[in-house]
Chain A
Amino acid sequence: MAVAKVCGIETEYGINHVGGDGNPVASSSLLVNAYVMDLARAGWDFEDETPGNDARGFAREGAMPPEVETHLVNAVLTNGARYYVDHAHPEFSTPECIDPLEAVLYDKAGEEVLRRSMQAVGRSLPPGQSIVVYKNNSDSKGNSYGTHENYLMDRAVPFARIAHLITPHFVSRQIFTGAGKVGSETPGASGRDVSFQIAQRSEFFEEEIGLETTLKRPIVNTRDEPHADPQRYRRLHVIVGDANMSEVATFLKMGTTAIVLALIEDDGFDGVDLALANPVQAIRHVALDPTLAAVVDMADGRTVTALALQWELYGLARKYAEDRGLDCLGDDAVGQMVLQRWEDVLQGLETDPSQVSGQVDWAAKLQLLEAYRDRHGLDWDDSRLAAVDLQYHDLRPERSLYARLDMEHLVKTADVLSAVSEPPRRTRAYFRGQCLKRWASAVASANWDSLVFDLGTDPLRRVPMMDPLRGTAEHVEELLRECATPAELLARLSG
């Protein structure tokens, strides 16, 4: 039986320090610091960080495991999220969410955290300076930064099987998860004459599978860092997606991927093999065609469109849902909502992508670009179109073009505001967030799978949280209510 698809999203935001000295690490630190300065927070505990471990059990010669930067700002928030500076970007990692709808909620809460950060840093910067944040994945000059998804999986499933079966989904899902962009950043002839692509990141992928995230990016990332009991669990770290402004797109990205992963765990493919002849070529090829007519070669010699691959995966998912239900998506109702939305978006895309411009980022952006282009008679290489592209992702309400479009919402603003400080109730993020809310000064450090308490008298006390499904409100809400001090909590936990 598929394990609960606990999931989360890590977003590296683009920043522009207006009037700054061009040091993005310093600017990112200023931004994150401004937010966390006044908040209850704990430092991050790096003891269990092993981003260089490879799920295939080895590291390819010359592979470069990512470095963990311990000297930069790093905070854990009371909603269970991690907010920090990664390389040269502010990064927000949502807490562990029980279903794709909750992932949407915390992804939007992340945007709100970044907005508040912009306001906070604006109050402390010299006159004429500001730091502006963009939720996108490329600067249109060949530099990409990531939006990574994480899904809890059963360790018993061989990694090679996961990689083989998930790849066709990663290649084809961009028809509804792509955020769209003007032009191409691929050097050479292949980049010429490209007016618009449906995804921001697809052209940055060079390998089918691998450990790297910053160069020679692989469609399937093999980072084996479960942040949970490694005997039971795997965390599939997905680097192939775009950051979405659209709530429906984020919901579909997380939901469809979670279902396909459940299918892989439970053998729901039933012998169907959608393997592609050349996934790297295919993912780039699909991105280049907003008409969605592009066909790619399958390993068995057939040719197929991304849309047809998605219909095939949707059909398998429907059958799986009928046979087994979708409780692994938090609850069956959310799973059914994913299926319904999945069908709707494929229908819309098949009819005319403009039909889903209220749900799909690239379709919304393309419609806007074409209208703007018509009005002013612009060529595709006009800077104003590049500016429209960039400003679609601007998080400032007064500048955001996304906010001006009539895009469909799935979560309520009040719930998003509450999720800025409240943790999810149905994962271990609840325990982490509640402990920080109550006893921030006693929490010496935190990681996804542990909390370390400093009670001032004893040695530091580490509370392991190796199961993402324990430490939920159901497990610990009453316990926490009954404990007046962290010392009492630790006594009860060890008693």
Chain B
Amino acid sequence: MPERELKRKPAAAPREEQVIEEAPATAPQGEKLKAELDDLLDEIDEVLEENAEEFVRNYVQKGGE
């Protein structure tokens, strides 16, 4: 069977004088993002329930709605 892809993307809506400040992908920027991610992951290690296996196993709900 022939496959035709349906795709008709409308032209972008005109926006009022939008100034897009693109941050150059410099090394310091990348390092900053990585440092932020590392901080976040550190934080998750701290707040994640201690016994993950037991925590996940004990989370049992009755169906609802």
Contacts and interface: CB of A to CB of B under 8 A. Distances in A.
Interface string B33-64: 00001001101100111001101111111111
Q: Which of A148, A308, A405 has the most CB of B within 10 A?
A: A308
Contact of A401 (B47, B59, B61): B47
A139 B60 contact: yes
Interface string A311-354: 11011001000000000000000000001100100000000000
Interface residues of A, number: 59
A214 B7 CA distance: 36
Q: Is the interface of A mostly helix, strand, loop or mixed?
A: mixed
B59 A139 contact: yes
A102 interface: no
A302 interface: yes
A163 to B, nearest CB: 19
Given A145-B65, A386-B52, A387-B56, A398 B8 contact: no
Q: Which of A91, A146, A390 has the most CB of B within 10 A?
A: A390
Given A384-B48, A384-B52, A146 B6 contact: no
A328 B4 CA distance: 35
Contacts of A303: 3-6
Contact of A24 (B4, B48, B62): B62
Contacts of A383: 52-53, 55-57
B52 to A, nearest CB: 4
Interface stretch (A81-89, A118-126, A427-435, A470-478): A81-89
Q: Is the interface of B mostly helix, strand, loop or mixed?
A: loop
A191 interface: no
B32 interface: no
Given A301-B1, A387-B49, A387-B52, A312 B60 contact: no
Contacts of A382: 52
A141 interface: yes
A12 B65 contact: yes
A304 interface: yes
Given A145-B64, A213-B65, A343-B13, 13 more contacts: A15-B61, A24-B61, A86-B64, A88-B62, A89-B62, A91-B64, A138-B61, A303-B4, A304-B5, A309-B6, A339-B13, A387-B49, A405-B40
Closest 10 CB pairs of A and B: A145-B64, A88-B62, A387-B52, A146-B65, A213-B65, A383-B53, A315-B10, A139-B61, A383-B52, A386-B56
Interface of B: 1, 3-10, 12-13, 37, 40-41, 43-44, 47-49, 52-53, 55-65
Interface of A: 12, 14-16, 24, 66, 86-89, 91, 134, 138-141, 143-146, 148, 213-215, 239, 295, 298, 301-305, 308-309, 311-312, 314-315, 318, 339-340, 343, 368, 371-372, 375, 382-384, 386-388, 390-391, 398-399, 401, 404-405
